[in-house]
Amino acid sequence: MEAREDHFSLARSVILCLVRAMNIRIVMAILLATCPFVTALADTKVVLPHSQRFADTGRDFLLETTIPGDFKTLEGIVWGLLTLSSQCADKQFSYFFPDALSSSSQGEGAQPLYMYFRGLRRDGRKVILRFTDDANRYLNNTAAIQELVKGPLEATIRLHTNKSTTIYYEIDGQIVEEWDA
């Protein structure tokens, strides 16, 4: 009887080992199959200007790309766009750092645009981007620089909201209706 119990115990152990090994294989297969999707979910879609296309034609230069991070709110997405745009995979994209102002007289002493960003407000289909006065170095510059800065902001917001969203810029508490350039 004792030999039979040992045999049963040995058979049970072998079966458990096989089941555990099978479960491990199944779990590993599932993990390996889903890893690319987990990585893809960790990025946020944004729109950035493609520097070569802008230089060549000045048209169709705003392209969709991703930045690292999975931002859930519109304010987080805009903040990510302003701070992480230099980390997108394709280095042909321009981003919101003083380099964007290098051809402008306002470039000297400029901080990255995110330093002047004070958040956003939503009111129905209106999105109001709030900045300090120093953001005018970017926002109220030449027409080309305004396109390079405002275009990605507005396109990224529309990518994550309704396409008919109206975007306003607030500088030190005042909505700006008209820009110089």
pLDDT tens figures, 41-100? 579 999 998 877 877 777 788 989 999 999 999 999 999 999 998 888 777 777 666 565
Residues 37 and 61 occupy one common structural domain: no
Residues 59 and 31 occupy one common structural domain: no
Residues 65 and 123 occupy one common structural domain: yes
Domain containing 29 equals 1-41
- The answer as to whether 103 is a domain residue is yes
Q: Which pLDDT tens digit goes with each residue over 15-29?
A: 555 555 555 555 445
Residues 24 and 49 occupy one common structural domain: no
Average pLDDT over all residues of the chain: 79
Residues 5 and 67 occupy one common structural domain: no
Residue 33 has pLDDT above 90, yes or no: no
Any residues with CB less than 8 A from the CB of 111 and at least 6 apart, and which? 98, 134
Q: Which pLDDT tens digit goes with each residue over 99-130?
A: 655 555 566 777 888 999 999 999 889 999 99
Residues 23 and 49 occupy one common structural domain: no
Residues 102 and 164 occupy one common structural domain: yes
Residue 181 has pLDDT above 70, yes or no: no
Identify the residue whose tokens are 């007289």: 105
In our burial notation (b when 16+ CB lie closer than 10 A, e otherwise), range 32-47 reads eeeeeeeeeeebbebb
Residues 82 and 150 occupy one common structural domain: yes
Residues 124 and 55 occupy one common structural domain: yes
Residues 88 and 99 occupy one common structural domain: yes
Residues 51 and 79 occupy one common structural domain: yes
Q: CA-based angle 171:122:119, to the nearest 5?
A: 45
- The answer as to whether 167 is a domain residue is yes
Name the more confident of 34 and 138: 138
The number of domains in the chain is 2
- The answer as to whether 181 is a domain residue is no
Question: Which pairing describes strands 62-68 and 117-123: parallel, antiparallel, or unpaired?
Answer: unpaired
